[in-house]
Amino acid sequence: MARRKSPPKVTESLEALGLSGLEAAAYAYLLAHSPATGYRVAQGIGKPVANTYKAIASLEEKGAVLMDPGSTRLCRAVPPEEFLARLEGQFQERRTRAARALAEVRAVEPEEQDPRVYLLRSRRQVMERARAILSRATRCALIDAFPDPLNELAGDIDQAAARGIDVVIKPYAECPQIRRAVMIPILQWEREIPALWPGHHLNLVADARESVLALLEPQGDGVVQAYTTTSTYLAVMQHSGVQFEMITTHVRDGIYKSLDGESLRAIVRGYLRFSLNQMPGYKTLLTGGQGDGKATGPRDSSP
């Protein structure tokens, strides 16, 4: 019998889900040749019989194969969608247990502000951090981002806005997926900026308290450079920079449209609700880490 080697992507994907290399090869073989004996599987994948039987027994415990209790001991692969659903359920159970265990050891008192800057090594890590920051926002989030990362965060942005968080975005293209956040006007010449950069830019700061700044590789999971921080000083400065970048862009758009002076002043007034004196991070900075994090002052209508 000719040996059937599983495609590398199949075995790699299964190994990433927690299967050993031998288990992955056996399961992939059985998907195409069920039912089969362990001996036949071993011949098909070119592995020792004893080791293959152990792998099949492990697959049975994991719910990946079914065994015939008769003397032939035929085994059959469980359909992928059924097996993957079982794995997902097991993962959620383990995640819940881990969350409970971690909650018991987590510090009861609020953590001190960490002034350090931490590097992020992958696109996935950047996006996970951005989502976490959005989920923790209590007052506002300012975002300056190129279309690619902005589209990826669309759902998380709308979820934050739905909670009542002021989310204001400087985009470089239309993003119809985002329905709840405020988009400032896009200047025509700024639409060309993303094509001039060596990657995808993302600048996100929430509550002037924590932020992520990243330049993502155009393809794949790499980053050109990326960092995150909960330093209130750095987040305050980043908030201020993004806020005034937005004001400048918005006012400049008004000038191009020949708006009168009062209309331009109204644009600026629309940004007063993002002033630093209303940001939780700024209050924390002024009180040496003892700010109450509660925003005060008027909440004007969106610009």
Q: Are residues 30 and 140 in the same domain?
A: no
| pLDDT 10s digits, 234-255 | 999 999 999 999 999 999 999 9
Q: Tell me, yes or no, whether 293 lies in a domain.
A: no
**Residue 256 burial (CB < 10 Å; 0-12/13-18/19+)?**
exposed
* pLDDT of res. 5: 55
The SS3 assignment for 47 reads coil
Which residue, of 51, 82, 106, is where some domain finishes?
A: 106
| pLDDT values of the chain reduced to their tens digit, one per residue, 303 residues | 445 555 668 888 899 888 999 999 999 999 999 899 999 999 999 999 999 999 999 999 888 999 888 777 899 999 999 999 988 988 888 888 888 888 777 654 444 568 899 999 999 999 999 999 999 999 999 999 999 999 999 999 999 999 999 999 999 999 999 999 999 998 888 999 999 999 999 999 999 999 999 999 999 999 999 999 999 999 999 999 999 999 999 999 999 999 999 999 999 999 988 888 999 999 999 987 633 334 333 333 333
In this structure, the answer to whether residues 133 and 53 fall within a common structural domain is no
Q: How many domains does the chain have?
A: 2
For strands 140-145 and 166-170, give the pairing. Answer: parallel
Full domain range(s) for residue 193: 117-286
| Together in a domain, 37 and 158 | no
Tell me the C-alpha to C-alpha distance, in Å, between residue 209 and each of 126, 135, 161, 165: 17, 13, 18, 14
User: In sequence order, what DSSP letters do the residues of 117-141 get, joined into one string?
Assistant: EEE--SHHHHHHHHHHHHHH-SSEE
Question: Are 161 and 270 contained in the same domain?
Answer: yes
Residues 278 and 228 in one domain: yes
pLDDT at 113: 65
